[in-house]
Structure 1
Amino acid sequence: MADAGLYERIKAYEGRSAVTGGEGRDPVNSPMIRHWCEALGHPVPADGSAPATMLQVWTMAGLPGHGDRSGPYDELLGALDAAGFTAVVATDCEQEYLRPLRPGDRIAFDAVIESVSPPKATKLGTGYFITTRMDLRCAAEPVGTHRFRILKYAPVQRKAPAKRPCPVVNRDNAGFWDGVSRRELLIQRCTQCATPRFPWLPGCDRCGGQEWDTVRASGSGTVYSYVVMHHPPFPAFDPPYAVVLVELAEGVRMVANVTGVPCDKVCIGMPVELEFADIDSELTLPVFRAKEEV
């Protein structure tokens, strides 16, 4: 819950300076105009002036630091950081253009902390919207106004969803996943050279043939290779776990999970048998169970 006393303290910053006597690092110039237009796919104005929406470009402080940002603005953000509102996201901006900017113009600006909102509950977390207004000028002539709003918030602590990611189904592999839904493991077979292939592809790697049929795999195989996953952790998985490359009796290999054996007991050459795991109501996956020793 937001602290009422905190809001009173930070609201007192309204009207105080955010930047005083700021100066653009570079004059308005043709190369920057051209680069900006190329990056955004914007036509370069025929008269050589800067597109109006480049207004903020001429005030950016660059990578070395915060430029001309004032003490009061840093104090405001520091007070929010200390109270636990450590995250920040830009929410919107508004600009007003008073005249075109042309190469050679040197931009000066001042900025004020225009408003600090009461605490607002958002999906990101509870926080405060802070709006600054920047007034830009060339010599003594006003050329534009830029309002910029951020949300300083305390991030909501969420548990990551535990639902396992679903595979991407497209026109090339839809038949495979249709088979899985029937608890069948289907392998493509080229009708020109009879070469089996997996994963599913639109054409044969051996002869280039475009026609194919399917073979239902027997489900028998051996571990050709494997890896034990420890890191990074994913919410839907419980490391450590083994991921195996299984060589099927039909002569193709596929990646899958292995069950029925601790991950540190998986070994190359281990015989496995196909089974189907119902991950949830929407997802069934082919996996391989280690065969019990006879």
Structure 2
Amino acid sequence: MLIPAQNRTTPDLLGRLKAYEGQAAATGAAGKDPVNAAMIRHWCEAMGHAVPEDGAAPAAMLQVWTMGGLSGHGGGGGGGGARTPAYEELLALLDEAGCTSVVATDSEQEYVRPLRPGERISFDTVIESVSARKTTKLGAGHFVTTRTEIRTEIRTAAQGGELVGTHRFRILKYAPAPQKSAGPGRPRPVVNRDNAGYWEGVRDHRLLIQRCTDCGALRLPWLPGCDACGSPGWDTVQAGGAGVVHSYVVMHHPPFPAFEPPYAVALVELAEGVRVLGNVVGVAHEKVRIGMGVGLEFLRVDEDMTVPVFRPEV
């Protein structure tokens, strides 16, 4: 198969991409708001965690304080707002090479200390690495990794800021692979070695929940290790199928040919205490409510895919 010239990576192009390593993607960006109790409370409620007794922000909230929201950071740079010219040039160069699509692939965070209400943060981001061209199921492209150092706000040039955490973020800029089917099929779940057993269970009409063999904590979606104690040991328990709608969204836009909007997608809390996403079927979308009791069913989408869905209890 011939690959269009703009979709190839030549040694010259790779050298140009590599030249951006070490350059700034954002400099001197500042958090839009100080660390505050209201945001800590909202985040904890959304995540199902108790608010820390000492009032400090949970460490995993680190990225929250860097976000610019819909309006971005204006001239501050980075973190979802304005970017440096070097980062814009890198993305443009990848676009020119045919890598016009983008997907976030993974994120790593390191925590130095928790932030407390009233503190403000600043952050700088550097382009850490640009990979050689890689072929994935989505298509061929380049992984771009950035590293953000988050500090308490610099008050004076002499004082500097205290490092509170580091955020490493990786995206794939890629040229979409040709679709195998002519029709607009339903999107496929990403199946890998960490979750293959889950999808095998769904295929057999069994919703399997991981259980840590050390501390007994249940987890869904599946993870390679326990998020409660860190143990890699696990077995499974089968969900009974009863649950309640914990939260939901009604999808209107953007339209996708494999679905017929509007339709309701719910975060269902199972009787076992874990939560799972699924469509709510058998009821009009405007009838879905938080707290509604639902039961598990399995929908065969096609010969290769079955998905869990939920039907309201009668």
Range of TM-score over shorter length = 0.5 to 0.7
For 1:46 and 1:17, how far apart are their aligned partners in 2?
38
Instruction: Sort the Cα spacing of 1:63 and 1:162 in 2 relative to 1 into closer, same or farther, 3 A.
Output: closer
What do residues 260-284 of structure 1 show as CA deviations (whole Å, max 9, x unaligned)?
xxxxxxxxxxxxxxxxxxxx999xx
Match of 1:70 in 2: 84
Q: CA deviation at 1:61?
A: 1.6
Aligned partners of 2:143, 2:54: CA distance in 1, in Å? 39
User: TM-score of the superposition, structure 2-length normalised?
Assistant: 0.51
TM-superposed deviation, 1:5: 2.1
Name the structure 1 match of 2:21.
14
Structure 1 residue 83 displacement after superposition? 1.6
Call closer, same or farther: CA 1:233–1:137 in 2, change over 3 Å: closer
1:47-196 → structure 2 map (5 Å cutoff): 47-65=54-72, 66-138=80-152, 139=154, 140-160=161-181
The answer (yes or no) to whether the contact 1:29–1:104 under 8 Å persists in 2 is yes
Cα–Cα, structure 1 residues 3 and 44, in superposed 2: closer, same or farther, change >3 Å?
A: same
Find out whether 1:45 has 2:55 as its counterpart: no
Specify the alignment match of 2:193 in structure 1. none
Contact 2:9 2:97 in 1 (8 A): no
Query: Aligned partners of 2:103, 2:22: CA distance in 1, in Å?
Result: 22
User: How many angstroms apart in 1 are the aligned matches of 2:103 and 2:21?
Assistant: 20
Residues 70 and 30 (structure 1 numbering): CA distance in 2 closer, same or farther, change over 3 Å?
same
Q: Percent identity?
A: 61
- In structure 1, stretches of 5+ residues that fail to align are 171-231, 235-279, 283-294
Residue 43 of structure 1: how far off its partner (Å):
1.3
Judged with a 3 Å threshold, the aligned counterparts in structure 2 of structure 1 residues 162 and 50 are, in CA distance, closer, same or farther, namely: same
Amino acid at match of 1:14: E
Partners of 2:185 and 2:148 lie apart in 1 by 47
Q: 1:30 to 1:4 in 2, by over 3 A?
A: same
Amino acid at match of 2:93: A
The one-letter code of the counterpart of 2:175 is A
CA separation of 1:48 and 1:133: change in aligned 2, threshold 3 A: same
Match of 1:2 in 2: 9
Q: How far off is 1:81 after superposition? A: 1.0
Quickly say closer, same or farther: Cα 1:68–1:105, change in 2 above 3 A: farther
After superposition, residues 194-209 of structure 1 pair within 5 angstroms as: none
Is the Cα–Cα contact under 8 Å of residues 21 and 68 in structure 1 kept in the other structure? no
Aligned mates of 1:72, 1:51 — CA distance in 2: 33
CA RMSD of aligned residues (A): 2.9
C-alpha distance after superposition, 1:201-258 (max 9, x if no partner): xxxxxxxxxxxxxxxxxxxxxxxxxxxxxxx977xxxxxxxxxxxxxxxxxxxxxxxx
1:48–1:74 Cα change, 3 Å: same
| Structure 2 unaligned regions, length at least 5 | 1-7, 73-79, 155-160, 187-202, 206-255, 259-301, 305-314
Q: 1:248 maps to which residue? A: none
- Counterpart in the other structure of 1:23: 30
Distance 1:48 1:82, change over 3 A: same
Is residue 184–residue 257 contact of structure 2 (8 Å, CA) maintained in 1?
Answer: no
How many residue pairs are counted as aligned between the two chains? 175
Query: Per-residue deviation at 1:3?
Result: 2.9
- The verdict on how the C-alpha distance between 1:104 and 1:4 changes in structure 2, with shifts beyond 3 A counting, is same
Matched residues in 2 for 1:69 and 1:49: separation? Answer: 30
SS at match of 1:50: coil
Q: Is the 8 A contact 1:20 1:68 kept in 2?
A: no
Q: Secondary structure at the match of 1:76?
A: helix
Matched residue of 2:93: which SS?
A: helix
